[in-house]
Structure 1
Amino acid sequence: MILITGGLGFIGTHTTRALLDLGESCVLVQRRPAEVPETFAAEAGERLFVERADVSDERALLEIGDRHKITGIMHLAGSMPWPPGAHEPIEHTELALRSLLNLFRAARDWQVRRLGLASTIGVYAGITADGPLGEDLPLTMSAPHVIPRFKKIGELLAGHLEEVAGVEAVNYRIGGIWGPLGHNPDPFFPAPQLVHAAARGTEPDLSALVGEVRAGNGIDVCYVKDCGRALALLQTAGRLRHRTYNVASGRITTNGELAAAIREHVPDARVDLPEGRTPGAVDNPLDITRLREDTGFEPAYDTRRAVAEYVDWLRAGHER
């Protein structure tokens, strides 16, 4: 049985679905009260359980192991001071680090097979490289945002604790993710804003994006169902040869490609973007060779299929 923090979140929901489809059972840990979604109704109470606990509370977390036989842990909730300003800064930092350390305590005490830790594409910020970004590239000591800053800290702590505590810890560097249940607006790429506007017949609002939006600009984005399946495969693989994996599509999706796919599915969509590419824009894809070799993963969604499914999902009455 796999324990998943953030298991009812954006990526967590799709990862849980993928694990269930692989025959696993799951315990989803939520800090706030939560009900099992209808999509999991068939497995609820048999192969899927929801537990309310704050992972910064060691006792509450460890008590879950008294009720369920936990064999693996996936930490998809953020061990970081988030949202900013929610607590006194030093206290907030302490809570974030305590959550991560408690999961290592649980993994050690329950003798779980693998502790998977969600990291981010943001750890590569500041790296200048030709071609895809591989996991062995040396990272800078700085970070432009609190999320990659604490993910770097988490990766370093995981490496140390794996050595001294005997817990297999694996870092999952997740790329740009989009699709059903996702965030809208997104500050880093326009896919959610463009798809939502097309589904509702409105003008897209791209004001929340960081930087200029041009047709030639792109980023390595991965449809969330592919992301969830990749994470599930990594968590259940019999043997992993590495301790860090990129989780992405392995290719750049340009804004122009996205707009063309939207227009094909929604001919009257207002997705006209300025042509060209912003000078100096960085658009390195993530190298997913490790992921492919150790799990057999291949993305199932190209841009056209992802857009069509996402638009239809929103038109069916879903807000996100």
Structure 2
Amino acid sequence: MILITGGLGFIGTHTTRALLDLGESCVLVQRRPAEVPAAFAAEAGERLFVEQADVADERALLEIGDRHKITGIMHLAGSMPWPAGAYEPIEHTERAVRSLLTLFRAARAWQVRRLGLASTIGVYAGITADGPLGEDLPLTMSAPHVIPRFKKIGELLADHLNEVLDDVEAVSYRIGGIWGPLGHNPDPFFPAPQLVHAAARGTEPDLSALMGETRMENGLDVCYVKDCGRALALLQTAGRLRHRTYNVASGRITTNRDLIAAIRKLVPGARVDLPEGRAPGPVDNALDITRLREDTGFEPPYDTERGVAEYLEWLRAGNER
């Protein structure tokens, strides 16, 4: 049984579905009370369970292992001071680091071999490179946002514990820009959700939440969320992994022009214009997913048009995000 923190979140929900489809059982850990969603009703109580616990609370987390036989852990909830201002700053930082260490303690207590840790494409910020970004590139010491900042801290702690522990395999998953059903709207990093939502509603997109200017030729390695969930499930269940860090992405750049072209093909007349050209900033690099492909056989089946079509159908069916 795979324990997933944040298993009812955006990426977590799709990863859970992918694991269930692979024949795994899952226990989803949420800090707040939560019910099993209707989408998991068929597996609830047999192959899927929801437990309430704060990951920073070691006792509460370890008690879950008394009720379920945990064979793997996926930490998708994140160990970072988020949302900003939720606690006093030093206390919030301490909770973030403690939650990560608590998962290592749980892995050892339950004799779990693989602990998967969600990281982010944001750890590559500040790197200047030609071509796709590989996992062996040296990272900078700085980060423009609290999320990649603490993901770097988490990766360093995991690397250290991998060296000194011989009974836990910690693997960091550097996840690209993810979009699709249940996603964040507005998204501060790329405009895909805002553009698709606007097309579904027949409105103009509100891009005010974006952290920087974006134009037609700006792009990102974005991965449809179902592809992301399947890739994470394959990494977590692989019999043998040869590395301790994996990029989880599509392996290609999707520009805003590509996205808008797909939207307009499906929704003629959609009001999703952006300024021409490319906004100043770093070169757009794809993530190299060679490791992911070689060790799991993963290939992303969703191209931009297929992703847009499914997301539009989801929103038009009455789903809010």
| Superposition TM-score tier, normalisation by shorter sequence | over 0.9
Give the TM-score normalised by the residue count of structure 2: 0.98
Q: Secondary structure at the match of 2:102?
A: helix
Quote the residue 2:107 is aligned against. Answer: 107
The 2-side partners of 1:286 and 1:219 are apart by 9
Indicate whether 1:80 and 2:66 are aligned. no
The 1-side partners of 2:171 and 2:280 are apart by 36
Q: Secondary structure at the match of 1:245?
A: strand
Q: Secondary structure at the match of 2:51?
A: strand
Quote the residue 2:40 is aligned against. Answer: 40
Quote the residue 1:179 is aligned against. Answer: 180
Cα deviations by residue, 1:41-74 (Å, 9 ceiling, x for unpaired): 0000000000000010000000000000000000
- Specify the code of the residue in structure 2 equivalent to 1:49: F
* Aligned Cα root-mean-square deviation (Å): 0.8
1:281: how far off?
4.0
Cα deviations by residue, 1:269-319 (Å, 9 ceiling, x for unpaired): 111222222244420000000000000000010000000000010000000
The 2-side partners of 1:82 and 1:211 are apart by 21
Indicate whether 1:168 and 2:169 are aligned. yes
Quote the residue 1:240 is aligned against. Answer: 241
1:161: how far off?
1.2
- Specify the code of the residue in structure 1 equivalent to 2:186: P
- Specify the code of the residue in structure 2 equivalent to 1:248: A
Cα deviations by residue, 1:179-218 (Å, 9 ceiling, x for unpaired): 0000001111110000000001111111111222211111
The 2-side partners of 1:254 and 1:11 are apart by 22
Deviant stretches of 4+, over 4 Å: none
Quote the residue 2:201 is aligned against. Answer: 200
Q: Secondary structure at the match of 1:28?
A: strand
Q: Is the contact between residue 128 and residue 282 of structure 2 (CA under 8 Å) also seen in structure 1?
A: no
Q: Is the contact between residue 175 and residue 220 of structure 1 (CA under 8 Å) also seen in structure 2?
A: yes
Pair 1:114–1:189, CA change in 2 (3 A): same
Quote the residue 2:59 is aligned against. Answer: 59
Q: Secondary structure at the match of 1:29?
A: strand
The 1-side partners of 2:280 and 2:165 are apart by 47
- Specify the code of the residue in structure 1 equivalent to 2:12: G
1:77: how far off?
0.5
Unaligned runs of 5+ in 1: none
Q: Is the contact between residue 27 and residue 51 of structure 2 (CA under 8 Å) also seen in structure 1?
A: yes
Where does 1:116-265 land on structure 2 (aligned, <5 Å)? 116-166=116-166, 167-265=168-266
Q: Is the contact between residue 108 and residue 165 of structure 1 (CA under 8 Å) also seen in structure 2?
A: no
Q: Is the contact between residue 217 and residue 281 of structure 1 (CA under 8 Å) also seen in structure 2?
A: no
Unaligned runs of 5+ in 2: none
- Specify the code of the residue in structure 1 equivalent to 2:26: C
1:226: how far off?
0.2
The 2-side partners of 1:95 and 1:211 are apart by 30
1:91: how far off?
0.6
Give the TM-score normalised by the residue count of structure 1: 0.99
Q: Secondary structure at the match of 1:249?
A: coil
- Specify the code of the residue in structure 1 equivalent to 2:32: R
Q: Secondary structure at the match of 1:50?
A: strand
The 1-side partners of 2:89 and 2:279 are apart by 36
Q: Secondary structure at the match of 2:116?
A: strand
Q: Is the contact between residue 219 and residue 254 of structure 2 (CA under 8 Å) also seen in structure 1?
A: yes
Query: How many residues are aligned here?
Result: 320
Q: Secondary structure at the match of 2:11?
A: helix
The 2-side partners of 1:300 and 1:157 are apart by 34
1:144: how far off?
1.2
Q: Secondary structure at the match of 1:44?
A: coil
